Amino acid sequence: MKKYLKSYLLLFSISGAIILLDQYTKYLVRENLQLWSGVWVPWDWLLPYARIIHIPNTGVAFGMFQNMSWLFTILSAFVSLIIIFYFPRVSKADWALRIAMSMQLGGAVGNLIDRLTIGHVTDFISIGNFAVFNIADASITVGVLILILGVWMQERKEKQKGDQQTTPIKDLPQEKDNSNLPAEDVNS
């Protein structure tokens, strides 16, 4: 039991921090900005580039697949359970996968809480012409990027290890090739 608790410490620490930050920022937006029309910018010069705006999202990350909230509620719950089940089986040496899974769990649960409590996800970060998103969406995306980076680094490490194993060692003495010599010279 202690083994599982230790294993889950990283998962629940990272995902818990993401969930708390995600839910707190969404709460601030819902309490202080009107739906669709409320916009906040700390400095006027930032307005064309970035702003905080209160947008409901019934789809997935970055506003894709609108009006399918029921499907993504089920999918988020399912993915979260898979991550919780699979996490203790991941090697402690595979830090990229462990961090990626933790971030993805935090993002999935953060948005799942919104879907279950208010029926949609609160999106509020608007940068340029990019789709409006939230902390949970960003966490899932960064988790995927960390996962891709980790897989790439692991493959590179294995390739280098494989290249080192197949490189011939030049300092070892070579056996004498006697196949071309006449039979009387081989026996002498």
pLDDT at 178: 60
The first and second tokens of residue 186, run together, are 């081989």
Active site residues: 123, 137
Residues of the chain above pLDDT 90, percent: 49
Whether 136 contacts 18, CB under 8 Å: yes
pLDDT at 60: 67
Would you tell me how many other CB atoms lie within 10 Å of the CB of residue 37? 8
Rama region for 115: left / alpha / beta (φ>0; ψ in -120 to 50; rest): alpha
Would you tell me how many other CB atoms lie within 10 Å of the CB of residue 11? 20
Task: Render 51-120 in DSSP notation, one character per residue.
Answer: EEEEEEESSSGGG-STT-HHHHHHHHHHHHHHHHHHGGGS-TT-HHHHHHHHHHHHHHHHHHHHHHHHSS
pLDDT band at 105 (very low <50, low <70, confident <90, very high): very high
Q: Render the burial of 81-119: b for 16+ CB within 10 Å, e for the rest.
A: eebbeebeebeeeeebbbbbbbbbbbbbbbbbbbbeeee
Per-residue pLDDT tens over the stretch 37-66:
878 888 888 888 999 999 998 876 555 667
pLDDT at 53: 92
Whether 124 contacts 54, CB under 8 Å: yes
Would you tell me how many other CB atoms lie within 10 Å of the CB of residue 167? 8
